[in-house]
Amino acid sequence: MAKKEKKNARQKISEKKSLFTFFDIFKKILMFVGSFVGILFVWSQVKAISGEPQWTFYGSGLVAEPNLPARYFYGELKDYWGRKVDVRKHYVEKDLQMVIVDPNSGKAVGHDREFGFKHDGRVIFRYRLRFPMPKGLVMRIVAKGHIVLSRRLNGAFYDEKCPCPSDLETFYSEYKCPESFDQLDTDLAKFPETFDLDELLRKGEAKHWMNGGHGDATAHIVIKDQRLFVKDLGSIMGFRPFLTSMLLSLLRKVELPDVEFIFNLGDWPLEDNFENPLPIFGWCGSTEQTDIPLPTWDQTKNSRHALFRERKDVQYIEQTSGDLTPWEEKSEIGYFRGRDSNPGRLTLCEMSMNHPEDVDLD
């Protein structure tokens, strides 16, 4: 009996030793894994802090379509964790260079190029082709002497002068056109779905809309088989080239359906007959008239001539926004820049003289 009890005691001691040994090994494994994970975490933090942010580039200017007069794309910096970093903290404009390379010759070509810092810390890169590059191009960005982008862009790249229209559905897809425009839908809702165009022309010729008292400035526009026809209906037609150049630019890019309409070339809406209004397009609209406003002539002109004859287009403002005064630091004062072409602007002048602290017309 004594021997059996001793044997059982020895077995229990052995089992306890085995159990202790297992827990010791398990504990050591956990300590090793914990130490390894800790080292990895510290290493990742050091890398995140000491590592250089990485560049990413994206935008329509990195593909052949759409065929814009001035193409553009964005560059931004991201840290190790994928968080955006303000480019202005690491670079100034002289640190960056944009080069366009002919893929056949391997030589840089002299297209117009421009870039600048945006208010959100990104860089917008823009370029305008001086001639078509039907076999594509190589876009290269150099930052502080290091190439951070060198990408072959395949496809046919066309300049603004190229007569290379896409069909309408392809155009909508390439330019990512919305299915509808709320303002345009609201304006068109004032008119019947069908309208006698011959009647429109007869009434347009007879009515002679007066442009804010300055004279009549309307034109009859017809697009037929990709050709543009214009008939002056007014006596003050100095702004007609802005309209025709816009339409000709569109005809070089898209196969337009046959269309006919009257356009107001002046800077004052005209049609005030709400009972039976005539549909007339223009650059100005009002709640007191039924004119259908389109983007103004200066905006379309600036877009067509961006990086060429015009420098102050919408994207130029975007690319210089990084140097502008932050919104919260701006002065609370209204301002106007323009000429005294209607009585409302003269009223602004009087307001500025009487209350210079509220309105700036300098």
Q: What is the CATH number for 68?
A: 2.60.40.10
Assess whether pLDDT exceeds 80 at residue 333.
Answer: yes
Confidence of residue 25 (pLDDT cuts 50, 70, 90): low
Same domain, 117 and 224: no
Q: Which two tokens stand for residue 19?
A: 């159990």
The pTM (predicted TM-score) of the whole model is 0.76
Q: 153, 169, 202 — which closes off a domain?
A: 153
Report the distance separating Cα 244 and Cα 160, nearest Å.
15
Count the domains in the chain.
Answer: 3
Same domain, 296 and 239: yes
Residues 6+ apart with CB under 8 A from 275: none
Tens of pLDDT, residue by residue over 32-47, are 656 655 555 544 454 4
Distance in Å from the first CA to the final CA of the chain: 116
Assess whether pLDDT exceeds 50 at residue 50.
Answer: no
Same domain, 190 and 298: yes
Same domain, 127 and 235: no
Residues of the chain with pLDDT > 90: what percent? 49
Tens of pLDDT, residue by residue over 89-135, are 999 999 999 999 999 999 999 899 999 999 999 999 999 999 999 99
Mean pLDDT (the chain) is 85
Report the distance separating Cα 43 and Cα 182, nearest Å.
53
Same domain, 148 and 228: no
Smallest CA-to-CA distance from 229 within 269, 263, 271 is with 263
Q: 259, 288, 304 — which closes off a domain?
A: 304
Report the distance separating Cα 82 and Cα 53, nearest Å.
9
Report the distance separating Cα 235 and Cα 215, nearest Å.
7
Contact 126, 320 (CB under 8 A): no
Smallest CA-to-CA distance from 257 within 175, 165, 188 is with 165
Assess whether pLDDT exceeds 50 at residue 61.
Answer: yes
Q: Residue 47: its pLDDT value, please?
A: 46
- φ, ψ for residue 240 (rounded to 5)? -60, -40
Residue 278 or residue 11, greater confidence:
278
Tens of pLDDT, residue by residue over 309-327, are 887 788 888 888 888 887 8
Confidence of residue 3 (pLDDT cuts 50, 70, 90): low
Q: For residue 41, is it within any domain?
A: no
3-state secondary structure of 263: strand
Q: Residue 185: its pLDDT value, please?
A: 92
Q: Residue 256: its pLDDT value, please?
A: 95
Same domain, 188 and 291: yes
Assess whether pLDDT exceeds 90 at residue 158.
Answer: yes
Report the distance separating Cα 159 and Cα 29, nearest Å.
66
Q: Which two tokens stand for residue 56?
A: 């990413």
Residue 209 is part of which domain span? 183-304
Smallest CA-to-CA distance from 212 within 339, 342, 338, 340 is with 342
Q: 304, 321, 341 — which closes off a domain?
A: 304
Q: For residue 165, is it within any domain?
A: no
Q: Residue 46: its pLDDT value, please?
A: 47
3-state secondary structure of 146: strand
Q: For residue 199, is it within any domain?
A: yes
